[in-house]
Structure 1
């Protein structure tokens, strides 16, 4: 009986040992298989065998410094943007509201035709040069052209301002609106107002106090002159008219240009020629009548 018990104990020990060995082997194999599978996974973030496509240094469209399509020198670059601060249409870059020499193309042709003085024939022969005859009542006397300044309310043609004074009124000529203020005419332009030559036919009720009376010799009508513009008084007020040939003014506005015609230097304002002369010992200008020489 004792021998049987000893055999059973021996068999039990062997079975337990066998089970322990099998369990250990299974655990070791599973652990080894798990580790081996981990190292061979191609897309694992912690693996040293990660494929090149997951390497940030080689990704062409990532947020790194090698992005070819998102650099600061492409379409979003304000430095190369042709519209950054430079308005080319109307070109505000070259307009300085404090500079009376701004370069603006203004059509002044509506006030450049000289009216002939039908009341006073010319007694002096014209100066003929270049196929044209230049008529004047007084002899030529050169003196340098010096633009005249009519005061703080006056601005020359081409001058730009951002806003008008509250005293400005609207004047309509040939279905076009102008703004008039203290002897100066404006048209609305991009971002403000530009001074233009007074349009012939415009009627205003008042003139600046410094307007000059111009006597038209032989006529009962007197003209008025201010800032390069001639007016005639009527029942409605003062109407802008072309200059009358032979009219004499003491000053010319800014924007004129000394123009050499043969041996005579005229001052051309718009398309009107003014001849430098002397009257009563003073330097003044006479409006010249210009005709084409008839062949």
Structure 2
């Protein structure tokens, strides 16, 4: 009985010593794995990371976000590139040196803003006006000292010697129009003038008559009276009285008004407007404006024009 107890005690002691030995070895192993005491204990068997579910067909966006880079010139200016779209080209580029085709100005039409009113001018509707009431030349009281130029059964009288210079129409500004010029509407500054039971419209040196739903510039009717004429009118001497000349039209002072009169033979003007025609008569070139002939001359070194008296050679 005693021997059995001794055997049991020895076995228990052996188990206790073995357990202590195994615990010591396990602690030493844990310290080595932890790196000297501060480490994190990892299970001996290890753990698997959880699986990450990624889509099998991940599609990258077709549009790359806009990027901003500093300017290469060192000025600090930032250049922002627009987002790039795949397989897409930008065709609508604006070039500062390129004109929009929708803004092309049609040379046949004018849109002139005058005193807040728009004139729609269509040159394609220009017409020929056969109004010669203001092209009849009045005879001058001064006797001609020079013999006339005779050709084709007519005599062409002038006080000054002939001096040829090319006909260059004078530009009177955007509100002046030559005879035959059509406008759809008139400015608010236009006034109505009645001459021999016929109504005309006058605006800033130009006379108009109703025509085809609009108005056509016509020769100024003799006898037409207005209160004002353009400030750029030239004062010309006819030998007896002063006339005022503007855009091919002559006016005489009539009280506080200005009356349209025919040109007086021998009158010298500085320029002729658009609408004249350079014609060759024999060896001489005149400028025909309406039915009035102008001889090119030179006075004090300046090119001018003189109203010619034309008579039939008897």
TM-score range, shorter chain: 0.5 to 0.7
Q: Does 1:209 align with 2:209?
A: no
Give 3-state SS (helix, strand or coil) of 2:145's partner. Answer: coil
Provide the alpha-carbon RMSD of the alignment.
1.5
State the match for 1:112 in structure 2: 135
Contact 2:134 / 2:262 at 8 angstroms: preserved in 1?
yes
The whole-number CA distance in structure 1 between the counterparts of 2:245 and 2:131 is 17
State the match for 2:279 in structure 1: 259
The alpha-carbon deviation at position 108 of structure 1 amounts to: 2.2
Higher helix share: 1
The alpha-carbon deviation at position 247 of structure 1 amounts to: 0.3
The whole-number CA distance in structure 2 between the counterparts of 1:168 and 1:133 is 41
Give 3-state SS (helix, strand or coil) of 1:146's partner. Answer: coil
State the match for 1:275 in structure 2: 295
The alpha-carbon deviation at position 160 of structure 1 amounts to: 1.1
The whole-number CA distance in structure 2 between the counterparts of 1:101 and 1:258 is 23
The alpha-carbon deviation at position 96 of structure 1 amounts to: 4.7
Contact 1:112 / 1:242 at 8 angstroms: preserved in 2?
yes
State the match for 1:131 in structure 2: 153
Q: Does 1:232 align with 2:232?
A: no
Q: TM-score, normalised by structure 2?
A: 0.61
Distance 1:261 1:99, change over 3 A: farther
The whole-number CA distance in structure 2 between the counterparts of 1:228 and 1:101 is 23
Q: Does 1:189 align with 2:226?
A: no
Per-residue CA deviations over 1:18-66 (Å, capped at 9, x if unaligned) read xxxxxxxxxxxxxxxxxxxxxxxxxxxxxxxxxxxxxxxxxxxxxxxxx
Higher strand share: 2
The whole-number CA distance in structure 1 between the counterparts of 2:156 and 2:124 is 29
Contact 1:129 / 1:262 at 8 angstroms: preserved in 2?
yes
Q: Which consecutive aligned stretches of 4+ in structure 1 deviate over 3 angstroms post-superposition?
A: 95-103
State the match for 2:179 in structure 1: 157
Contact 2:269 / 2:305 at 8 angstroms: preserved in 1?
yes
Q: TM-score, normalised by structure 1?
A: 0.65
The alpha-carbon deviation at position 106 of structure 1 amounts to: 1.1
Distance 1:280 1:100, change over 3 A: farther
The whole-number CA distance in structure 1 between the counterparts of 2:294 and 2:267 is 9
Per-residue CA deviations over 1:151-178 (Å, capped at 9, x if unaligned) read 1221111111111111110011111000
State the match for 1:286 in structure 2: 306
The alpha-carbon deviation at position 107 of structure 1 amounts to: 2.1
Give 3-state SS (helix, strand or coil) of 1:137's partner. Answer: coil
**Structure 1: runs of 5 or more not aligned:** 1-94
Give 3-state SS (helix, strand or coil) of 2:133's partner. Answer: helix
**Structure 2: runs of 5 or more not aligned:** 1-107, 111-120
| Largest Rg, 1 or 2 | 2
State the match for 2:267 in structure 1: 247
Contact 1:256 / 1:268 at 8 angstroms: preserved in 2?
yes
The whole-number CA distance in structure 2 between the counterparts of 1:102 and 1:149 is 21
